[in-house]
Amino acid sequence: MSSFRNHRVIIASLFLPTTAALGESSPPTPDHHVAPDSEPAVPQSNGGNQKQQPSYRQRQPGQLPLVSIVDDLRSRAITPLASPQSDIPNPFTRFVNIASPRPGATPRSISARTPALSNSNNESSSDSNTSSQIPALDRSFTLLRPRKFQTTHQDVQHSARLQRKQSRSSSRRPKSVPWHISPNTHCNGGLKNAVDSAKGRLPRRLWVGTLGSNTDGFGSEMRMNIDKRMRDMCDSVPVWIPDGEFESCYDEFCHQVLWPCLHYAVPDAPKTKYFYESASFKQYRSVNQRFADVIVENYHEGDIIWVNDYHLLLLPGLLRSHPKTALAPIGFFLHVAFPSSEIFRCLSVRDSLLKGVLGADLVGFQTANYARHFRQTVSRILAYESLPKGIQVEGPVAPVSTGGEAETEWRESAEGKKTKEKGRFVDVGVFPMGIDVNSLREKKRHPEVEYWVQLLRQRYAGMKLIVGRDKLDEIQGVRHKIEAFEHFLKTNPEFQGKVVLIQVALQTTESNELAGGVSDVVARINAAFSTLTYQPVVFLHVQEVTFSQYLALLTVADAFMVTSLREGMALRTHEYVECQEERKRALILSEFTGTYSYSGFRSCFAVNPYDTRGTAKAIYQALTMSDEEAASRWQDLHNHVVTQTAQTFVTSFLTRCLRAHTEHASLSIDPSLVPALDLPRLIPKYRHSTTRLVFVDLEGCLWVRDMSKSAMIEMMRTGKGPMVEPPEATIRVLEKMAGDPKNEIWVLSGLPVKGALERLAERVPSVGIVAENGCFVKTRKIGNKSDGQSNGARWINMVANLDFAWKVPCIEILNYFTERTPGSFVEERATSVVWRFWTGPPDSTVSIDDDPTITTSTSDTSPTTTNAATSSPSSESQHSDRSWARRQAAEAQNHIFDSLGERYGLRIIPGQNSFLVLPNNISRSTAVGTILHPGGPACSPLGGGAGVGDADYDGYWSSVTIGGGTGRTTSSTGGRVSSAAESTLVLAIGGDEKLLRRLNELDDAETVSTSRRGTDAKWKLDPREVLGVLETLGQVR
């Protein structure tokens, strides 16, 4: 499989990392200035001559000085800064691009009461009563994209992204409007930073998204110019969406329907129905379709498509249904939480959303809980089979439509008829997001950050600082945080006047901020505890804080507090941990965040935001713990931050996406394209081979077991019968093949050692056996010598050192489901557990090799079974029973995987009638690896050496003559036959696709697939013809 570095990655996100801002290019903000050569100095307290300010503080021509954050905190009123009112609630009214001073604006005073004007030399005058003077920061901002309809606030100027009335008037602008490229403040910052951090591994990438500003007034010539420059300079392609359509999609459906639902705020059913019927969902689908059109237009064969976040849930399905991108590798990653099925099922458009996501090859989530919720939701709503690794989608992914006409038309088309019986498997994985640690380390070493650190330490000397950074909506739990802080001050009066909570408020909608109910609580606390020199709660809107100032806050903080009611990965906690490398202070984290679900963050102070007293207690513990405890907790947190980085997130997701697509593509290959086994071509190669290594599946190839109820009852009562007695025809063929001295025959099985395989070993001791899918391996008998170990052969336990404590709880879980699934039963084996959830007549659409441990016979069924299957009423009842059994099996697999899989390292092999639970990293492929690898515990002489510690192997193969010549030996193998023996043919016949792909890497390997699905094998063969082929090869001499 090729690396994703060899592919171009198309990254689809709602907003591009860069945007086209109207107006001439403006000077950069202080964050973007070149670092000064000299150490920054704090001005003197008197009004006389001051030390020269660092270069990044020097005012550019035409600019006004900036008001210091320290003085801004000192002069702030009791109540927090209110948000500007807007006629139309819109999240874009809070979005502000990189700010620059507004020409002609008057800077705010350093003092709380007295205004101060600046002179041309950028010197500030101060009140004579002021004891100290701090450099000033201007809180007057303007946007880099001027608009006629912008509204002004006393502190921050905001713009509305979508106001149809104003956007129509904007069409009267001159055609030649100056514009420039600037950073897009609306974009997904975590995704952008992650992609940028892995730019060395992503040499070719293409961003697809919107500009994040009103675009109705842009003429066709201007759009073409923007397209060209964005493509050439930023590797970006804008998606042009009418403002009204985007407003309905983003403001109504995304923010009022999807966002609350995904964060466990149960949506109002009439409200969602209203949005659906008022075309909100139609606009959402239209936006997704516009993204699909742009991606299809720019897609080239070999590209990887990466779709991001809940704004584009329908996009994977739309891309999969388009002929040009139907076979493209598509990955989808959800950056927010995913709720329980009981929440998601409230959405009226739930089916369309889920089917859209399932168009991807890989669906990624932040935590294992979110991935489990998604699997369960798909299983319960769409009735698809949900497995620990992903979702088995029955049939193709049809186009997402609102009326069903497109889907009907597609299913009636030639392509739909060709693939409608095929299924797809969609991988579901967990990929925790991180930060770019190296980049953050460089930024926090910037002199400007140190400058603000000194100022903050001077301003809050002797005080404890608790810092938070959240949106002001209800889901972020800011109100819960402040109420807990209030309770902390009441119950610990010794901290009054000594602890300050600095809350940085992120951009959100006006309605969400009002719903958060923060202002009244802040006003109450500040009114109760404030003094002339102390204010307990300080609010800073994100527009008022540069990134350097924010890093300084994280550096001087004594605790960082996150009390979200529901959230994905809180990357701001990662930034805090990295900034605390010197001080190593505490992190207070909500247990409802995705970050807390990882063991590395369990060293924080976990809180339940709904428990005000408990959260207040955590604040007290965080501020009073010893330095030793703080350092120990920080070290655990830091270990996670530096391992789960942004680079790891990008590389792991794209690698898994490409691997999943490769596996799915091999299964989707039309079996008719794989040539049938050509014996006339194989026989000459077989005849002239010096040695031959043959691997063949037992169940489904050499033996079609009778799985009727009568056979099962006989086996359980007497231990005999057709289920445990290998057919005589199979025994004769194996004896004949093993009788050729050039051949080494290995039988691969999923059955336990006791029973059928023991009988097979007694009848044909010269045949090697792999049992329980690789857990046990029986070596072959050599010559005629017998030493009491089954004529020279022995059983090797490949999992002897593993812990099998998982079997007891696993069987308990399966017994629970057995009681609720008629006809099912549990089969305990030495190293694995099988649950047979269906023992009725076989499904006519099931291949006889689809069961991981057994194969249902389509010809050897009992008369009773056959008659039952042909009866129409009974068939309908049996179909219903089988559907119920499969649903129960999916639930059981998910339950076992979630509760035991990660803890004990288990994997589950699903089949049509049963599934197998066994230790991870054990399979038929690994067993064959031990046979082929020199020095392996079951190493074959033809594969590179003999069995470990088996003197008979060494003595026999050191003198054997192969093909008329002496076998070549090497000192490294201790007299064993080298893997370089001439003309060794490896022949594999079976349905294990992973094994066949592995053997394809060998030069002289012939792989034959007996499955009726797509395969990477060189040949295909009907399972009923396997015995005949082997019998023919046995006669070749």
952 against 840, higher pLDDT: 840
172-181, 306-315, 583-592: range with lowest mean pLDDT: 172-181
Cβ(17)–Cβ(183) under 8 Å? Answer: yes
pLDDT at 307: 97
887: Cβ contacts below 8 Å, ≥ 6 apart: 379, 383
Q: How far apart are CA 151 and CA 1001, in angstroms?
A: 66
pLDDT at 855: 35
In the DSSP assignment, the letter for residue 238 is: E
Q: Would the pLDDT of 10 be above 70?
A: yes
pLDDT at 385: 76
Cβ(212)–Cβ(161) under 8 Å? Answer: yes
Alpha helices by DSSP H, 823-975: 863-870, 872-896, 902-904, 924-932, 951-957
60-64, 544-548, 878-882: range with lowest mean pLDDT: 60-64
86 against 956, higher pLDDT: 86
Q: Would the pLDDT of 54 be above 90?
A: no
Please give the order of strands across the beta sheet that includes 559-562: 537-541, 499-506, 464-471, 559-562, 586-590, 605-607
| Strand partners of residue 909 | 916
Q: How far apart are CA 468 and CA 854, in angstroms?
A: 57
902: Cβ contacts below 8 Å, ≥ 6 apart: 368
List, for residues 748-802, the tens digit of each pLDDT value.
998 888 888 888 988 898 899 999 888 899 988 766 544 444 446 788 888 888 8
Task: Choose the most confident range, by mean pLDDT, from 73-87, 719-733, 744-758.
Answer: 744-758
Helical pair 478-491 and 612-624, crossing angle rounded to 10 deg? 70
pLDDT at 976: 32
Q: Would the pLDDT of 228 be above 90?
A: yes
Q: Would the pLDDT of 991 be above 70?
A: yes
Share of the chain above pLDDT 70, in %: 68
| Strand partners of residue 828 | 833
pLDDT at 270: 58
Helical pair 728-738 and 1026-1034, crossing angle rounded to 10 deg? 30
pLDDT at 236: 95
In the DSSP assignment, the letter for residue 523 is: H
> What are the structure tokens assigned to 111, written together?
């003092």
Cβ(571)–Cβ(440) under 8 Å? Answer: no
The HSE-up count of residue 33 (CA atoms within 13 Å, CB side) is 18
CA angle, residues 1010, 1012, 1016, in degrees to nearest 5: 70
CA distances from 288 to 239, 259, 283, 550 (A): 10, 17, 9, 35
558 against 669, higher pLDDT: 558
List, for residues 491-512, the tens digit of each pLDDT value.
999 999 999 999 998 866 555 5
- Residue 705: pLDDT band by 50, 70, 90 thresholds? confident
947: Cβ contacts below 8 Å, ≥ 6 apart: 779, 794, 796, 937, 938, 939, 953
| Strand partners of residue 387 | 390
800: Cβ contacts below 8 Å, ≥ 6 apart: none
Place of tokens 């150490």: 39
Buried b (16+ CB within 10 A) or exposed e, 653-673: bbebbbbbbebbebbbeeeee
Share of the chain above pLDDT 90, in %: 37
- Residue 46: pLDDT band by 50, 70, 90 thresholds? very low
The HSE-up count of residue 486 (CA atoms within 13 Å, CB side) is 17
Q: Would the pLDDT of 115 be above 60?
A: no
381: Cβ contacts below 8 Å, ≥ 6 apart: 341, 344, 345, 350, 351, 354
Q: Would the pLDDT of 55 be above 90?
A: no
Q: How far apart are CA 568 and CA 597, in angstroms?
A: 10
Best CA proximity match to 699, nearest among 924, 864, 868, 893: 924
| Strand partners of residue 745 | 694
pLDDT at 843: 54
Q: Would the pLDDT of 223 be above 70?
A: yes
List, for residues 69-83, the tens digit of each pLDDT value.
455 544 443 334 343
187-201, 214-228, 723-737, 771-785: range with lowest mean pLDDT: 771-785
pLDDT at 180: 87
pLDDT at 874: 55
142-156, 179-193, 794-808, 820-834: range with lowest mean pLDDT: 142-156
Q: Would the pLDDT of 965 be above 80?
A: no
Note the Cα 519 to chain centre separation in Å: 37
Phi-psi region of 1025 (alpha: psi -120 to 50; beta: other; left: phi over 0): alpha
Read off the pLDDT of each residue in 319-331 and give the average, rounded to a whole number.
93
Cβ(452)–Cβ(54) under 8 Å? Answer: no
Read off the pLDDT of each residue in 529-555 and give the average, rounded to a whole number.
89
Cβ(110)–Cβ(116) under 8 Å? Answer: yes
- Residue 309: pLDDT band by 50, 70, 90 thresholds? very high
Cα torsion angle, 856, 857, 863, 868, sign: positive
pLDDT at 63: 37
How high is the mean pLDDT of the chain? 75
Strands 795-797 and 776-778: antiparallel
pTM, to two decimals: 0.68
Cβ(437)–Cβ(578) under 8 Å? Answer: yes
Task: Choose the most confident range, by mean pLDDT, from 304-313, 666-675, 860-869, 927-936.
Answer: 304-313
Backbone angles phi, psi at 584, to 5 degrees: 60, 60
- Residue 264: pLDDT band by 50, 70, 90 thresholds? confident
Read off the pLDDT of each residue in 22-34 and give the average, rounded to a whole number.
52
Buried b (16+ CB within 10 A) or exposed e, 539-567: bbbbbbbbbbbbbbbbbbbbbbbbbbbbb
> What are the structure tokens assigned to 615, written together?
């959260």
811: Cβ contacts below 8 Å, ≥ 6 apart: 826, 828, 833
Q: Would the pLDDT of 977 be above 70?
A: no
Best CA proximity match to 657, nearest among 150, 142, 4, 85: 4
pLDDT at 234: 92
- Residue 39: pLDDT band by 50, 70, 90 thresholds? very low
Q: Would the pLDDT of 276 be above 60?
A: no
Q: How far apart are CA 298 and CA 286, in angstroms?
A: 19
710 against 802, higher pLDDT: 802
User: How many of the other CB atoms lie within 10 Å of CB of 414?
Assistant: 7
pLDDT at 381: 86
> What are the structure tokens assigned to 1032, written together?
């023919």
52-61, 63-72, 264-273, 919-928: range with lowest mean pLDDT: 52-61
| Strand partners of residue 100 | 142
List, for residues 348-372, the tens digit of each pLDDT value.
899 999 999 999 999 999 998 899 9
In the DSSP assignment, the letter for residue 937 is: T
pLDDT at 267: 56
560: Cβ contacts below 8 Å, ≥ 6 apart: 466, 467, 468, 554, 572, 573, 576, 585, 586, 587, 588
112-116, 157-161, 292-296, 993-997: range with lowest mean pLDDT: 112-116
- Residue 199: pLDDT band by 50, 70, 90 thresholds? confident
